[in-house]
Structure 1
Amino acid sequence: MTKHRALPELLSYPAHAITFALALLLTAGAQAQGLRPSGTLRLPDATSGSARAIGAQGGAQRQADFIVAVVNSEPITNNEVRTKLIRTEQQMLQLGATVPPRSELVGQILERLISDKAQLQMARSSGLRIEDNAVEGAIQTVASQNQLTVTELRSRLKTDNIDYTQFRSELRDELLVSRLRQRELEARATVTEQEVDQFLRDQDGGTQPSSVALNLAEILIAVPENATPDQVAALQAKAQQVLERARNGTDFAALAAEASASPTRASGGLMGLRMADRYPELFVEATAKLQAGGLAGPVRSGAGFHILKVIEKRQGGMPGAMVAQTHARHILLRLTPQLSEAAAVEKLAGFKKRIQAGQADFAALARENSEDGSAKEGGDLGWASPGMFVPEFEKVMNGLAPNQVSDPLVSRFGVHLIQVLERRETQMSQRDQREMARGVLREKKQNDAYAVWAQEIRGRAYVEYREAPQL
């Protein structure tokens, strides 16, 4: 399974790849929260149809809907365009980007919807299938990102006038398109050793942000969407107090576990070593003049107030850089005609219950059941640096606290059960430096390949434009 470095973090894909993991804001009239949900329920961007059920202007009655385009006989409506437009404007504002005039943006939005529709149609005709358990896992991820149980999530969806069946169906579509992209694009992003060599030479002594490697840790004090000025001031004061405690020597990881609302709290706030241009620009700017150990904040984003700590910063990128590593183990069940995804998930869920009840040992179960080369080592994967595992595996692993066992996870290799054993900061080996370089290059190639692939799918689609959108 394990160290197959296929796709990078899927948020490098333009806007439509497993967006449930990003928990993007769905409700058209609500303000995007950026890095972490607080007052508003944040749901997958895939649920554009569900979004149409929500009033885009505080409950004001919508104008009559109509078809603006047809893609291979499937319509795109005016309400879909308007919903996507509003959400895009909000996200751009939260990122500090300049929002172009609607007269310019609406055309781009419509073309994006056409492209997405064509990709979904191709995915549906590809023969790929998404098992019910994969959808349930995605729903659980949405709930976790919003710090809700699945029951609470369903209640919130109902409150927001989102039909749960429609939400679930469109989440399945999102997973289907993402799986198609993985299959189609993996072969287009091969990185050669010569390219890695050239990248490292280019980084040596570089001074541009893209040639600086950063490892940051964060603590997020979340601000609800509709917070009053007094509430915002109180939360800013709380963030300032946390910052002062960090400056006075309180362990940053302990503070993250205590106070942070970010998913990184489970790893002590660590966000991982990566090139600076892969961090939010406001984080890079806030830490630009700091050395390792330096603290910055509170930094305001759409999510709330961030306290940042520089764990490592290396000009020229690689030599001597420190990296946060994870020591984990897993059990892998590969899918076969005799073992369906649902059956594998059920079997691993049973293993988890036995482990948590003290009735079974993880390593023993791995040796007896895992279908991976690590089985003979009790599933032990050794120390791993960021980017060494495929993203769907790494994302779950990074969210686990030491000794915590995950729920069954579906990846392109099968179904896994993961346990994190420990974490550490260590100097990057030459091999780790090359793998980091390989990951950066692969991400760029994947983005380039996605753009070409999306254009190919769009070019093969029959598109009929009807009435111009009215906003």
Structure 2
Amino acid sequence: MKLSQVIASALLCCVSLQAVAAEREIDRVAAVVDNSVVLQSDVDDVVNRVKRNAAAQQQTLPSDAALRTQAIERLILTSLQLQLAQRMGMQISDAQLDDTIRNISQSENLSLEAFRQQVVAEEGDYERFRERLREEMITGEVVRANVQRRVYISPQEVDSVIKLMEEQGASNEQYNLGHILIAIPSQATTDDINAAKERADKVMELLRDGSDFKRIAIASSSGSNALEGGDLGWMNINEMPTLFSEAIRGRKKTDMIGPLRSGAGFHILTIFDIRGENVADIKEVKSRHILIKPSIILSEERARSMLADFVTKLRAGEADFAELAKQHSEDPGSKLNGGDLGWSEPDVFVPAFKDTLNRLQPNEISEPFRTEHGWHIAQVLDKRTVDATADKKRQQVYRMIFNRRYNEEATNFLRELRTEAYIEVMAED
């Protein structure tokens, strides 16, 4: 074949390949985040989910450009947390994911197959839902692992809050707050602060003129709940950041509050709803567990299979739970007591452990499951409902203080994580 024919053939091949490539949808990078990227398809997925949820709730939304900005910001934080989880060696196994999905389906009174069909009907892709749930579980564990150690609450602080609540005749009211954050940079100049204040004042003006709070939150807020319309969920006043709790005292439903200045920026609040909390009884479980921690020497699969073997022997009556815990458990707090965790409210445990205890019947032994601490098997020995005694009141107050401090520190942690990262958001074509 002549050289000219070879070149012509090669050119024809290139043209054909270009034509095929032109016809094929190619994903593109929406943002570079340290050692990873955010893809446009993921941004589109978030935006489409927000639109579906808004349509179901008959909620108006801001422009697609504003939604895209919020979606990218959400995915940037998710990417940073997933990269940190990888460095920490943190994983969520298929078994742990399956346990969580089973708990979700049971809470909605659906069989696993019915729940799967519901997910497919609402979102279209069940496997994508599974992986997104896995990511949410991992990011939740990352925040807990890095924030819990920042929170210290002294007994004197609990005493002070109890005394203050008694003096003020504090009620058990809970508030469903809406939140908009107009952020300022970590090393803000006077011009940065003034510009943020002007934006916050403009937002307040729009809200007082009747603009929809959730729509403005999605469009303008830098808060972590922006895509949920700024909805912070239900909180007792003592669980809120101090800045918020002081500002909403004496306020009523639909009031607009702010702008309130903090180190993060300017906050605007509203009260979506108020309800009374009249829970007099507390549900407790008496449980025990065995913990095996994966390591360089002991693989994830080996740790899981060891516990699976223990379960088989225990159910067959060939082994004693307490003896196995004393010999093998790596939880120093319960090992010597045969894994016994005593009576506790399930809420004091990490989510995967709590969900497992809630699902188990008395004397039932779980399958192996994974938490941030390692692989476990657990057994519920008994369940009971008790009156809210003085000790329980202290625990409740402790939890309220912890939740408030935890939320504050979680916000700080995510800000620090983002500030220290290399991030480049690509311009749209």
What TM-score bracket applies, with the shorter chain setting the length? 0.5 to 0.7
1:419 CA drift (Å): 1.0
Q: Distance in 1 between matches of 2:154 and 2:141?
A: 25
Are residues 277 and 64 of structure 1, via their aligned partners in 2, closer, same or farther at CA, if it must alter by over 3 Å?
farther
Structure 1 position 191 matched with structure 2 position 141: no
- From 152, 158, 174, the counterpart of 1:210: 174
Q: Amino acid of the residue matched to residue 357 of structure 1?
A: A
Residue 218 of structure 2 aligns with which residue? none
Are residues 198 and 105 of structure 1, via their aligned partners in 2, closer, same or farther at CA, if it must alter by over 3 Å?
farther
Residues 209 and 277 of structure 1 are in contact (CA less than 8 Å); yes or no, is this contact kept in structure 2? no
Structure 1 position 345 matched with structure 2 position 310: no
Aligned-partner SS, 1:206 = coil
Are residues 344 and 78 of structure 1, via their aligned partners in 2, closer, same or farther at CA, if it must alter by over 3 Å?
closer
Residue 414 of structure 2 aligns with which residue? 454
Residues 172 and 278 of structure 2 are in contact (CA less than 8 Å); yes or no, is this contact kept in structure 1? no
Q: Distance in 1 between matches of 2:372 and 2:84?
A: 19
Residues 404 and 419 of structure 1 are in contact (CA less than 8 Å); yes or no, is this contact kept in structure 2? yes
Aligned-partner SS, 1:437 = helix
- From 254, 270, 278, the counterpart of 1:313: 278
Q: C-alpha offsets along residues 268-303 of structure 1, whole Å, 9 cap, x if unaligned?
A: xxxxxx95999xxxxxxxxxxxxxxxxxxxxxxxxx
Are residues 322 and 275 of structure 1, via their aligned partners in 2, closer, same or farther at CA, if it must alter by over 3 Å?
farther
1:418 CA drift (Å): 0.8
Q: Amino acid of the residue matched to residue 165 of structure 2?
A: Q
* Structure 1 portions without partners, runs of 5+: 1-61, 212-273, 279-311, 315-320
Are residues 378 and 437 of structure 1, via their aligned partners in 2, closer, same or farther at CA, if it must alter by over 3 Å?
same
Residues 407 and 417 of structure 1 are in contact (CA less than 8 Å); yes or no, is this contact kept in structure 2? yes
Aligned-partner SS, 1:313 = coil
Write the mapping of 1:357-436 to structure 2, written as runs, cut at 5 A: 357-372=316-331, 373-436=333-396
TM-score scaled by length of structure 2:
0.57
Q: Distance in 1 between matches of 2:304 and 2:143?
A: 24
Q: Distance in 2 between matches of 1:376 and 1:382?
A: 13
Q: Distance in 1 between matches of 2:394 and 2:375?
A: 29
Q: Distance in 2 between matches of 1:116 and 1:357?
A: 44
1:324 CA drift (Å): 0.9
Q: Distance in 1 between matches of 2:36 and 2:288?
A: 46
Q: Distance in 2 between matches of 1:336 and 1:345?
A: 12
Residue 37 of structure 1 aligns with which residue? none
Q: Distance in 2 between matches of 1:391 and 1:408?
A: 15
Q: Amino acid of the residue matched to residue 170 of structure 2?
A: G
Structure 1 position 109 matched with structure 2 position 71: yes
Q: Could you tell which deviates more after superposition, 140-149 or 101-110?
A: 140-149
Residues 210 and 277 of structure 1 are in contact (CA less than 8 Å); yes or no, is this contact kept in structure 2? no
Q: Amino acid of the residue matched to residue 173 of structure 2?
A: P
Residues 89 and 99 of structure 1 are in contact (CA less than 8 Å); yes or no, is this contact kept in structure 2? no
Q: Distance in 2 between matches of 1:370 and 1:71?
A: 39
Q: Distance in 1 between matches of 2:37 and 2:334?
A: 49
Are residues 163 and 433 of structure 1, via their aligned partners in 2, closer, same or farther at CA, if it must alter by over 3 Å?
closer
Residues 369 and 377 of structure 2 are in contact (CA less than 8 Å); yes or no, is this contact kept in structure 1? yes
Q: Amino acid of the residue matched to residue 315 of structure 2?
A: Q
Residues 322 and 426 of structure 1 are in contact (CA less than 8 Å); yes or no, is this contact kept in structure 2? yes
Are residues 71 and 416 of structure 1, via their aligned partners in 2, closer, same or farther at CA, if it must alter by over 3 Å?
closer
Residue 128 of structure 1 aligns with which residue? 89
Q: Distance in 2 between matches of 1:326 and 1:208?
A: 24
Aligned-partner SS, 1:457 = helix
Residue 226 of structure 1 aligns with which residue? none
Q: Amino acid of the residue matched to residue 382 of structure 1?
A: G
Q: Amino acid of the residue matched to residue 305 of structure 2?
A: E
Q: Distance in 2 between matches of 1:137 and 1:82?
A: 28
Q: Distance in 2 between matches of 1:365 and 1:73?
A: 43
Q: Distance in 1 between matches of 2:30 and 2:340?
A: 54
1:407 CA drift (Å): 1.2
Q: Distance in 2 between matches of 1:140 and 1:393?
A: 10
Identity over aligned pairs, percent: 29
Q: Distance in 2 between matches of 1:163 and 1:136?
A: 16
Are residues 387 and 415 of structure 1, via their aligned partners in 2, closer, same or farther at CA, if it must alter by over 3 Å?
same
- From 86, 93, 96, the counterpart of 1:137: 96
Are residues 100 and 198 of structure 1, via their aligned partners in 2, closer, same or farther at CA, if it must alter by over 3 Å?
farther
Q: Distance in 2 between matches of 1:92 and 1:403?
A: 44
Residues 331 and 370 of structure 1 are in contact (CA less than 8 Å); yes or no, is this contact kept in structure 2? yes
Are residues 69 and 362 of structure 1, via their aligned partners in 2, closer, same or farther at CA, if it must alter by over 3 Å?
closer
Residues 388 and 435 of structure 1 are in contact (CA less than 8 Å); yes or no, is this contact kept in structure 2? no
Q: Distance in 2 between matches of 1:97 and 1:455?
A: 32
Residues 100 and 352 of structure 2 are in contact (CA less than 8 Å); yes or no, is this contact kept in structure 1? no
Q: Amino acid of the residue matched to residue 89 of structure 2?
A: L
Residues 329 and 380 of structure 1 are in contact (CA less than 8 Å); yes or no, is this contact kept in structure 2? yes
Q: Distance in 1 between matches of 2:238 and 2:61?
A: 23
* Structure 2 portions without partners, runs of 5+: 1-23, 176-234, 240-276
Are residues 400 and 90 of structure 1, via their aligned partners in 2, closer, same or farther at CA, if it must alter by over 3 Å?
farther
TM-score scaled by length of structure 1:
0.53
1:109 CA drift (Å): 2.1
Q: Amino acid of the residue matched to residue 182 of structure 1?
A: R
Residue 427 of structure 2 aligns with which residue? 467
Q: Which structure has the highest helix share of the two?
A: 2
Residue 259 of structure 2 aligns with which residue? none
Residues 69 and 77 of structure 1 are in contact (CA less than 8 Å); yes or no, is this contact kept in structure 2? yes
Are residues 357 and 153 of structure 1, via their aligned partners in 2, closer, same or farther at CA, if it must alter by over 3 Å?
farther
Residues 387 and 439 of structure 1 are in contact (CA less than 8 Å); yes or no, is this contact kept in structure 2? no
Q: Which has the larger radius of gyration?
A: 2
Q: Distance in 2 between matches of 1:91 and 1:443?
A: 28
Residues 143 and 153 of structure 1 are in contact (CA less than 8 Å); yes or no, is this contact kept in structure 2? no
Are residues 325 and 92 of structure 1, via their aligned partners in 2, closer, same or farther at CA, if it must alter by over 3 Å?
farther
Are residues 326 and 275 of structure 1, via their aligned partners in 2, closer, same or farther at CA, if it must alter by over 3 Å?
farther
Are residues 209 and 115 of structure 1, via their aligned partners in 2, closer, same or farther at CA, if it must alter by over 3 Å?
same
1:108 CA drift (Å): 2.0
Q: Distance in 2 between matches of 1:331 and 1:118?
A: 32
Are residues 276 and 457 of structure 1, via their aligned partners in 2, closer, same or farther at CA, if it must alter by over 3 Å?
closer
Are residues 194 and 387 of structure 1, via their aligned partners in 2, closer, same or farther at CA, if it must alter by over 3 Å?
farther
Are residues 187 and 201 of structure 1, via their aligned partners in 2, closer, same or farther at CA, if it must alter by over 3 Å?
same
